Structure 1
Amino acid sequence: MLYPELYKSLESARWNMDSDVPWSSFDPSLLSEEQALTVKMNAITEWSALPATEMFLRDNREDSDFSAFMSIWFYEEQKHALVLMEYLRRFRPELAPSEAELHAVRFEFDPAPPLETLMLHFCGELRLTQWYRRASEWHTEPVIKKIYDLLSRDEARHGGAYLKYMKQAIDRAGDAARAAFAKIGVLMASSARSGKPLHPTNLHVNQGLFPRDTIQSRLPDPEWLERWLSEQIQFGREQEARVIGGILRNLSSLFGQAFETAQDLNRFRKSLGAAAA
């Protein structure tokens, strides 16, 4: 089981919301209305760990080890929402999300193959690590800069935990796991061609609710994410290359192959299909 090891490692790195966030350093002159609004949107987005956890527990009923790990992941992701809301409560209370706004992002996800979902969320953690690093650089107010730094480090650790479960899946399922991971890896490493950010919160997950079946579509401002990335934190080609590079490096290590591009990974994916046939 991986859960006991992951519990110890993540517990040792856990930060305290009271003592590790420098609340007394807040400088109101360094927080614009535009910046404060993005904190609200990220707080609501982080709240969507709730329906994601419900999905994981439903679709991984046969895997008690991974389901136990969800207790850590869910706690830390909801803590992200909480610290962002606490920031607004203290310094911009009129922007704090309402309970209705938070509940709007809790809806049922359609069942999906667990291995593909695992890979999707691994890529999501790599992407959030970079998004939050960039957000910390974009903000000028010192408290929120520190908060985004803490969140980015958490997301990186979560990605490492998902990677351990991916290694375990390959040990258990072999090429079936490799094929699932390569399939999603090609999708997520080809984000430049998609015309929109590829992240679990921006993908359609409930056919019956389409088109309001993404987390972002249920925010008070559904167009916020694209604007935040392109115009505000300016997450450009250089930053996107770091995400893609992280996906390819980790899959190279996982599969014992060298992938320099998404095309290399796609050729590997096709070779698995040919071998299975």
Structure 2
Amino acid sequence: MLYPELFKSMEAVRWNMASDIPWDQFEASKLSDEQAYTIKMNAITEWAALPATEMFLRDNRDDSDFCAFMSIWFYEEQKHSLALIEYLRRFRPELMPTEQELHKVRFEFDPAPALETLMLHFCGEVRLNHWYRRAADWHTEPVIKAIYKIIAQDEARHAGAYLRYMKRALVHQGMEFGQHARLAFSKIGVLMASAHRTPQALHPTNLHVNKDMFPNDTVQSQLPSPGWLENWLDNQICFDKEWEGKVSARILHNLSLLMDTTFNTVQDLNRYRKGLIKNQPATAGA
């Protein structure tokens, strides 16, 4: 089981909201209305860990180890939301999300293949780490800069934990399951490492997850300002091609280590994926 080890490692670096955030360094003149509003939107977005956890527990009922890890992930993601809400409570109380605004992002996600969802969220954590690093650079107020740096580090650790479960899927459950996992990971990897080719931000909260609610079935579509994310990325934190390239490179690097194959480009990964598809019948027959 991975859960006991992950619990111990994450417990060792867990931060305290009362003592590890420099609340007393707040400088009101360095927080604009524009910046404060994006904090509210991110606080609500982080709250969507609630329906995501419900999805993970439902779709991984046969994997108690992974479901136990969800207790860590869910706690830390909701803590991110709470830290951002606490910031607003202290310094911009008029922008605190209402309970209704938070509850609106809690809707049911359609069942999906567990391995593909795992890879999707691994990539999402990598991307969110980079988003929050850019947010910390964009903000000028010291306390919120510190908060974004802290939660960015959490997202990186979450990506590392998901990667551990991906590695387990490749080696611990038989050759046939391992090949199925390789195909699932490479398929989602091609999508998530190609964000520069898509009009929308490729993050789990910005993807369609409930066909009966379409097109309002993304977490972002349930926010008070559904279009805020693109503006935040393009015009505020300026998440440009260079930063997209860093996300893509990080995904490809980790998949290279995972698959023991070098992927320098998305095209390399896509060729690998096509090779897996081509060899599927022979593998199944064997």
TM-score bucket (shorter structure)? over 0.9
| Residue 63 (structure 1) aligned with residue 67 (structure 2) | no
1:25-78 deviations in Å (ceiling 9; x for gaps):
000000000000000000000000000000000000000000000000000000
Following TM superposition, by how much is the alpha carbon of 1:15 offset from its aligned partner in structure 2, in angstroms?
Answer: 0.3
Q: Distance in 2 between matches of 1:57 and 1:129?
A: 24
Q: How does 1:30-179 map to 2 (within 5 A)?
A: 30-171=30-171, 172=173, 173-179=177-183
- Aligned to 1:224, which of 218, 222, 228? 228
Aligned to 2:239: 235
Following TM superposition, by how much is the alpha carbon of 1:11 offset from its aligned partner in structure 2, in angstroms?
Answer: 0.5
- Aligned to 1:191, which of 195, 198, 209? 195
After the TM superposition, list the runs of 4 or more consecutive aligned residues in structure 1 that deviate by more than 2 angstroms. none
**Larger displacement relative to structure 2 (116-125 or 185-194):** 185-194
Aligned to 1:213: 217
Counterpart residue type for residue 61 of structure 2: R
Following TM superposition, by how much is the alpha carbon of 1:195 offset from its aligned partner in structure 2, in angstroms?
Answer: 1.3
Aligned residues, how many? 277
Aligned to 1:265: 269
Aligned to 2:284: none
Following TM superposition, by how much is the alpha carbon of 1:196 offset from its aligned partner in structure 2, in angstroms?
Answer: 1.4
1:65-122 deviations in Å (ceiling 9; x for gaps):
0000000000000000000000000000000000000000000000000000000000
Q: Distance in 2 between matches of 1:101 and 1:64?
A: 32
Q: Distance in 2 between matches of 1:162 and 1:197?
A: 21
Q: What stretches of structure 1 of length at least 5 have no aligned partner?
A: none
Following TM superposition, by how much is the alpha carbon of 1:18 offset from its aligned partner in structure 2, in angstroms?
Answer: 0.2
Following TM superposition, by how much is the alpha carbon of 1:174 offset from its aligned partner in structure 2, in angstroms?
Answer: 1.2
> Percent identity among equivalent residues?
68
Aligned to 1:203: 207
Q: Distance in 1 between matches of 2:123 and 2:64?
A: 23
Instruction: Calculate the TM-score normalised by the size of structure 2.
Output: 0.96
Counterpart residue type for residue 18 of structure 2: D
Aligned to 2:259: 255
Aligned to 1:180: 184
| Residue 27 (structure 1) aligned with residue 48 (structure 2) | no
Q: Distance in 2 between matches of 1:181 and 1:85?
A: 34
Instruction: Calculate the TM-score normalised by the size of structure 1.
Output: 1.00
Following TM superposition, by how much is the alpha carbon of 1:192 offset from its aligned partner in structure 2, in angstroms?
Answer: 1.0
Following TM superposition, by how much is the alpha carbon of 1:151 offset from its aligned partner in structure 2, in angstroms?
Answer: 0.5
